[in-house]
Amino acid sequence: MAKGFWKKAFGPLGMKQTDVDGDEYYDEMDEEMEDYDDYDEPADELDEPSYEEPSFSRRRSKVISMPETRGESSQMKMIIFRPTSYDETQGVIDNLKSRKPIIVNLDEIDVAVAQRILDFISGAVYALGGDIKKAARNIFVVAPSNVEVTSNMANAAAKADYDVSDMI
């Protein structure tokens, strides 16, 4: 009955049944596979893995201690900057981005240009989170965020016994 059904269903489509007997082919494959069924996996010699799974904890600190090196590389360098034009101001900002403190001396430059330079440096200091302090007339200390600038000038002026001759 099965042959008649397929003949009626696929006959009008031009499909004919072939004489290849697939069952014999699969029977042979089953016999060959029986030979492989006897294979046993070798037992693991080690009961425990040879490595430990890393353990992760949310409470672990993200701060990494940096080893300190002795010598010239560990010393902080301060740069003294005496501009002659506004175009040289970019160098101050580059050093500030490199986290180096700078002393800016604006004594020998025109007042209008000095004002532009100071405005530019002040904006960069604010953007980078640094600090700028006036050290003397037309001399400023520009410090990056990793350097703290403190002044004791207010304390010295408050002392009545402060005298320049004591320092000499």
On whether residue 16 sits in a domain, the answer given is: no
CATH code for the domain in which residue 145 is found: 3.30.110.150
Q: pLDDT tens, 23-69? A: 666 667 666 666 665 656 666 665 565 666 666 555 555 566 666 55
Q: pLDDT tens, 88-135? A: 888 888 989 988 999 999 988 999 999 999 999 999 999 999 999 998
On whether residue 154 sits in a domain, the answer given is: yes
Parent domain of 108: 78-159
Structural domains in the chain (count): 1
On whether residue 39 sits in a domain, the answer given is: no
On whether residue 20 sits in a domain, the answer given is: no
On whether residue 89 sits in a domain, the answer given is: yes
On whether residue 100 sits in a domain, the answer given is: yes
On whether residue 19 sits in a domain, the answer given is: no
DSSP assignment, residue 99? T
Q: What predicted TM-score, i.e. pTM, was given to this entire model?
A: 0.48
On whether residue 1 sits in a domain, the answer given is: no
Q: Which long-range contacts (CB under 8 A, 24 or more apart) does 95-98 make?
A: 96/124, 96/125, 96/128, 96/130, 96/142, 96/144, 97/128, 97/144
